Amino acid sequence: MTEKSRSRGRRAARLCLALFFALPLVSLLQPARAALPDEIQVYIDDLNDPGRWSLQEHINTTFAGDTDPDYPGESLANHGVRLTSEFAYGLTRDLEAGAYLPVVIESSGDVRLAGFKLRLKWVPVKPAEDGAGIFAGLNGELSQVQYRYDDNRRGFELRPILGWRDPTWLFAVNPVLEFALQGPDAHRSPDFAPSFKVARTVAPGIAAGVEYYADLGPLSNFEPASEQQHTLYVAIDIDRKPWNINFGVGRGLTSSTDRWTVKMIIDIPLGS
């Protein structure tokens, strides 16, 4: 590939990035309360190399969850299983595209394709692979799901990625904003759903720590504390390249949060 072709590719990637992350402006700042817990993950600075494909399988189940629907016809997470395949492709050194196919096994045993999601992840600031330093970026995710999993159906998630890591410690925070592109909550500002992760390497290729996920409600007027969602996970990361596994057990901390959830993310190698 010539330098001229590479330059065109970089310009096209930047244009796609700008258009994708401008979607919340088109939505007129409508919120989207996440109702489908298909991906329970704190984003860090990992990206595929340009031209490389990857596959992650997200698996989670709720042993003891909320039994009070937020709207008529809502399918609750209680006793259900979510299986989500996430395909990702490296576009440039700093930019990665991804697509999700979430499948739900409901408590009744019915298996349903919940919808689809598309994302772009941009991380221009990051340390060397085995080095130490800060990382920063942005992830945008466009979703279309069935009404039974989200009454807003179409949404956009804007996820800043901030953190610091070295060979022993990892600190990461994602102050997420959730927008709706359609739905009943057009009068509210976007939902604020922050998450963070702290992990320490305890053995070669093994890190242990905690992950925290919250949904505080509309950014302009948070929900009462008892109606907010707060979940704390004890998590372990196992790195056996090219295979990687994240496993966690989560405990809900408020009455509006599912009480016990178990999750696993498996990196499956594709190609060389």
Quick one: pLDDT at residue 33?
46
Quick one: pLDDT at residue 80?
87
- HEC string of 162-213 equals EEEECCCEEEEEEEEEEEECCCCCCCCCCEEEEEEEEEEEEECCEEEEEEEE
pLDDT in tens, 220-242: 889 999 999 999 999 999 998 88
Q: How confident is the model at residue 29 (pLDDT cuts 50, 70, 90)?
A: very low
Q: Which residue has the higher pLDDT, 233 or 35?
A: 233
Mapped onto helix, strand or coil, the DSSP state of residue 240 is: strand
Which range has the worst mean pLDDT, 4-18, 71-85, 208-222?
Answer: 4-18
Q: Which residues neighbour 245 within 8 Å (Cβ) at sequence distance 6 or greater? A: 237, 238, 264, 265, 266, 267
**Cβ contact 82:102 at 8 Å:** yes
**Cβ contact 180:188 at 8 Å:** no
Among 264, 258, 260, which residue's Cα sits nearest to residue 35?
A: 258
Q: How far apart are CA 100 and CA 5, in angstroms?
A: 30
Among 178, 176, 138, 137, which residue's Cα sits nearest to residue 156?
A: 178
Average pLDDT over residues 264-271: 88
Q: Percentage of the chain surpassing pLDDT 70?
A: 85
Q: Which residues neighbour 118 within 8 Å (Cβ) at sequence distance 6 or greater? A: 97, 98, 99, 100, 141, 142, 143
CATH code at 3-268: 2.40.160.40
Q: Compute the residue count for the chain.
A: 272
Q: How confident is the model at residue 170 (pLDDT cuts 50, 70, 90)?
A: very high
The answer on pLDDT for 25 being more than 90 is no
Q: What is the DSSP letter of 124?
A: E
What average pLDDT is seen over the chain? Answer: 87
Which range has the worst mean pLDDT, 8-17, 38-47, 143-152?
Answer: 8-17
Quick one: pLDDT at residue 191?
92
The answer on pLDDT for 2 being more than 90 is no
Quick one: pLDDT at residue 26?
41
Which range has the worst mean pLDDT, 25-34, 42-51, 245-254?
Answer: 25-34
Work out whether the CA dihedral 22, 34, 207, 84 comes out positive or negative.
negative
Average pLDDT over residues 40-69: 91
Angle made by CA atoms 27, 31, 34, in degrees to the nearest 5: 120
Average pLDDT over residues 211-217: 96
Q: Which residue has the higher pLDDT, 36 or 110?
A: 110
Mapped onto helix, strand or coil, the DSSP state of residue 4 is: helix
Q: How confident is the model at residue 187 (pLDDT cuts 50, 70, 90)?
A: low
Among 194, 116, 109, which residue's Cα sits nearest to residue 159?
A: 194
